[in-house]
Amino acid sequence: MLSRRQFLAAGLALGSAPLWANLIGSREGMYVSAFSSDGNHFAAGFNDVGNILWHIQLPERAHAPVLHPTQAVAGFVARRPGFYMDFVNVRTGDFLQRITPTQDHHFYGHALFSHDGDFLITQENHFPTGEGKIFVRRWPSAEVVAEYSSGGIGPHEAVFLNSSTIVIANGGLRTHPDNDRDILNLDTMAPNLTYLNWQTGEILQQVKHADKWHQLSIRHLDVNQHGEVVIGCQHQGEAWEQVPLVAVSRIDATDFRYLDMPEPIRARFKQYCGSVCFDKSGELVAISTPRGGFVAYWRISDHQFIGVDNCRDVCGLSPSNESGSFILTSGTGKVLNTLVYENHIELITQHASIRWDNHLRRVTI
């Protein structure tokens, strides 16, 4: 592992904004994701035409990348139950440092940097009690400066509503590393969406499903410029139950607004949403379902279902640099660009030996 001095030299000392532009040079865009190949696990950065710029091996399978807002740093969070978070210099792919959870905790595969980049916020499981936790660590020292309840069990993905408020998808699943990923509370699980002030730990709002949908785990989410949060759920109940899988929430609303879709499409979701992603404009939201093998789109202004793109094993989603457009990655190694309103999808590249993992992030210049 690099020393703190080496780390500072490699990452932090790279100057002030606009760092990304300096670091990536003339390239317009860069994407980062974890991937697996031949049973080994990696993190990678690739450019707009799908060329892999760097890759680095990870100790175990990672889930989602987290990008620092001003430094050339991307973190890759181990998937649940995760015990590492590796940070990489995105200019070179060089390893910078590893952060591990405190005793009796594990990561959930997602994390956030505060808007000023001074703090790393992680969702964690205190596995002896099953309590969901939000940890705030100073960056890059990793010193824990605060620890809060997430407001539920199984905090999975979280996003910023504004600089002081995070929205947490408390999936409701209690697990313990001794039982791998087995769900220990299927009959009592109670997922919720929690709006939390990460600077004070105050819970500002909590939204739940009706009791009959208590097995509808809230796992992934995104938020647009208007404060509209879209959640994608994974149903832990029976395969045949007709449950709503996608919903909109606002901090001032106590109920979810479930989004309609044609029943044949809902059935094809196979009760599973992978990633949730707004486009650049915040007007169009995409939800991937690797089990269903497609991405579905809604226009958020009138909650209108738009349609789907079929793609086997698709999961990673990112806005591209154009409104109405997304970059998609799949477990079959594909990187695609879709222009939703133009009804056009383009295979950027396919790496036969690469299985892109669940989440994709665009490095914004």
Partner 1 sequence: MKYPRNLSALACSVALCITSHSYANDWSAAVAGIQADVIQPAYNNLARDAQQLQQAVAELCLAPTEPKLQKVKQQFITNIDDWQQIQWLNFGPVTYFMRYYAMEYWPDKKGITRRQLQGLSKTPEVMTDKDFWHSASIAVRGLTAIETLLYHPDFNVIEHAADCHVLTGVSEHHAATTLEIAKQWSESKVGDWVFLDEDSNSSPDHGAMELFVQQWIEHLSAIKDSKLETPIGYNGRANLKLAEFYRSQQSLPAIIENLATYPVLFHAGQPSLYELAKRNDGPQAEEMDRLFQQSVSLAKALPDDFFSGSYSQQQRVELARPLVQSISQSQDKLVELVTSLGFNIGFNSRDGD
> Footprint of partner 1 on this chain (CB under 8 A)?
36, 50, 63, 79-80, 109, 156, 181, 219, 238-240, 267-268, 272, 274, 290-291, 293-294, 297, 306-315, 330-334, 336, 338, 340, 343-353, 355-358
Instruction: Give yes or no for a cis peptide into 319 (omega within 30° of 0).
Output: no
Nearer to partner 1, 33 or 165 (CB): 33
Beta bridge partners of 30: 47, 363
| Residue 298 C-beta: closest distance to partner 1, Å | 12
Q: How far apart, in whole angstroms, are the C-alpha atoms of residue 85 and residue 89?
A: 14
Residues in the chain: 365
Q: How far apart, in whole angstroms, are the C-alpha atoms of residue 134 and residue 98?
A: 18
Q: 3-state DSSP call for residue 191?
A: coil
Per the CB < 8 A criterion, the answer to whether 28 and 80 are in contact is no
Q: How far apart, in whole angstroms, are the C-alpha atoms of residue 212 and residue 362?
A: 37
Nearer to partner 1, 205 or 289 (CB): 289
Q: How far apart, in whole angstroms, are the C-alpha atoms of residue 52 and residue 47?
A: 7
Nearer to partner 1, 203 or 306 (CB): 306
Nearest to residue 142, comparing CAs of 103, 176, 105, 97? Answer: 97
| Residue 7 C-beta: closest distance to partner 1, Å | 29
| Residue 44 C-beta: closest distance to partner 1, Å | 15
| Residue 58 C-beta: closest distance to partner 1, Å | 15
Q: How far apart, in whole angstroms, are the C-alpha atoms of residue 274 and residue 325?
A: 18
Nearer to partner 1, 112 or 335 (CB): 335
| Residue 310 C-beta: closest distance to partner 1, Å | 5
| Residue 246 C-beta: closest distance to partner 1, Å | 16
Q: How far apart, in whole angstroms, are the C-alpha atoms of residue 330 and residue 311?
A: 8
Q: Which residues contact 326 (CB under 8 A, 6 or more apart)?
A: 277, 279, 286, 295, 317, 318, 319, 320, 337, 338, 340
| Residue 282 C-beta: closest distance to partner 1, Å | 20
Nearer to partner 1, 96 or 300 (CB): 300
| Residue 357 C-beta: closest distance to partner 1, Å | 7
End-to-end Cα spacing for the chain: 29
Nearer to partner 1, 86 or 357 (CB): 357
Handedness of CA 331, 337, 340, 344 (dihedral sign): negative
Nearer to partner 1, 88 or 315 (CB): 315
Nearer to partner 1, 72 or 354 (CB): 354
Nearer to partner 1, 64 or 120 (CB): 64
Q: How far apart, in whole angstroms, are the C-alpha atoms of residue 84 and residue 63?
A: 11
Beta bridge partners of 146: 136
Nearer to partner 1, 253 or 347 (CB): 347
Rounded (5°) CA angle 125-160-294: 80
Per the CB < 8 A criterion, the answer to whether 281 and 301 are in contact is no
| Residue 326 C-beta: closest distance to partner 1, Å | 13
Whole-angstrom CA distances from 196 to 49, 77, 133, 192, 201 are: 38, 21, 12, 12, 6
| Residue 329 C-beta: closest distance to partner 1, Å | 9
